[in-house]
Structure 1
Amino acid sequence: MKNILNDINNDLVRHYLIETVTTPTRGVRIKGFSAERVFPNLLALIHYHTQFPVALPCCLVLPPVPPSQTSGAVLASNASSIVGNGGGGGGGGGGGDSDSVTLVQNNGSRSKDQTPVSFHSMNETGNGTDTHPARNITSPISPTAGMFPSGLASPPPNISCRCLYLGAVEVDATLKEAGLMQAVDALIPGAVLQAEVCDQGGVDCPVQYTECQLQAAHNEGILLTDLSRKLFFQRHFSASSFVYAGVDPRDKVFIHPNHSALGLDKPKLFGFIIKKMSGEYVGHVFSEFDANIPAANVTAQINSLLLSK
């Protein structure tokens, strides 16, 4: 049967699991996608995905509300206004076992959870109770709520990708690409550095790598989330502190065993330079870890987002 482009009623039904999470915040999220954030309840999750698809192939389409059930439409309208202005008291949990819920592209049903939607409850906690192995960087799930410090849930980031964070090095204030190369050389003096060497060196190795979710948005800056919370929970760099992002032009590489599984035979090194409040310039270095988004695309979009006024 011939498919009609963008006709969800003529496409195969795709199922997505929703899971309950308790760390870093209690809530629900779509399971198995690092770009997905944590929502305080099922209503908030569904309402958000009617506007932004994020990991879904399209926005959710809710069935029309019968005239006899106008309260549901009023609830959705209220939820929209709360998300828009950041008000509301902040519902937390949402009841029931959300693991049993299945999202489909059509024939969906409206949630009966009447908890008002407020994203203020999705704060950054990072209490240090991490159950993940220090070197487990294979999980496809991000523990982050994906928030910028504005207090509201940010729209889907203008750029979002997974990468390996390798470290940060102070660089010369007058340099951009050369400053990034200076940071790379400090972390990787030779042509190739294997992850196993870093594991054997322990804390004495200059590279302390961890898998991160990198998000950048115009006027918001850059948000890094350590997916295993090995080195940190989240780090935010404001747009005003951003100086430059680029790819190391040489053939230096950091090799992790998962690179081959991701189809990255020669993962590029890239990074960005930030000016600290104290005046020093710091280069943050990464290795590609997302085959769908090349490092050149990531850095080009970051520069476009944060250097444009």
Structure 2
Amino acid sequence: MPSGERSNTTIPTLPSGGSTPSVSTSHTLPDLSKFSIYDQSPDIRLNVKFVQDTSKFWYKPDISREQAISLLRDREPGAFVIRDSHSFRGAYGLAMKVACPPPTAQANKKVGDITSELVRHFLIETSPKGVRLKGCPNEPYFGCLSALVYQHSMTPLALPCKLMIPSKDPNEEALELDTPTDTVAELVKQGAVAQQQVPEEAHACNVLYISSVDMESLTGPQAVAKAISEMVAVNPLPAATTVHFKVSSQGITLTDSQRKVFFRRHYPINTVTYCDIDPQDRKWSKEGGGTAKLFGFVARKQGSTTDNVSHLFAELDPDQPASAIVNFVSKVMRR
């Protein structure tokens, strides 16, 4: 935005060394360092510092509404960015990914349109009292955007869900997909020794993504078997693409770092109804020779309460077998 529109805001330096937008007025705003939250345990104090230091990851003043949608449409629910409002001078726009479209979304919209509907927009107004979500009577005022973000990462208040504070720039996230992680096979090996000690954090591996097949209301092993039968009947067969397959308590996230088929797709764990190897034990012929086991998971179709989609994959690395992957997904679903 032109600098004239930002004349009523400053970006002061915080004690932690980071910076975050704050309202500058003639009134005295609350001193956040005196809040009781800073008198709590070291873990909480560390978390507050973490929030302040991450504003560069979620505060994107110059991006447009459309750029915010593009940045968030394939992210997990709770992902967000805050930008300068281009319509209301001195205000901010909060764009966040949600799990379900708003009630006002038309049921007959195309899938792409529904995906856009999963990015919600909220206006953050500024006043001598501080910053707050506009049009939400139960929302308090905050002394700065970092305080607003931190509070909404603990409780959603008027938002559809809690904010997920990023640890890196969303534009650079795809570049870090090759960072080594515990393999799913290693995780399951740990679980075989001490099942109750399986870590809660996410685990990931690379697999071959083949295709997604509409199943109407069908789920379970029948859905996986039918989807594979329909897939192998296609001539020519779909081309397999290497994707990053991440499993966490929040769901399954697929990332196509080369963007051959898509960029990122997230399936909340409460929408995943089944995951297993092909009941008929069919194999996928790999490009370089050899075969790999086929597996898939069934998830609720985005924007629907009844229709399902079977997402089909094949093993890529012998150290990350399909059996280990589906076993871990099933464990996460049972938690």
Which TM-score bucket, shorter chain as reference? 0.3 to 0.5
Instruction: Give the TM-score of the pair, scaled to structure 2.
Output: 0.43
Larger-gyration structure (1/2): 2
The one of the two structures with greater contact order (alpha-carbon pairs below 8 A, sep at least 6) is 1
Choose between structure 1 and 2: higher helix proportion: 2
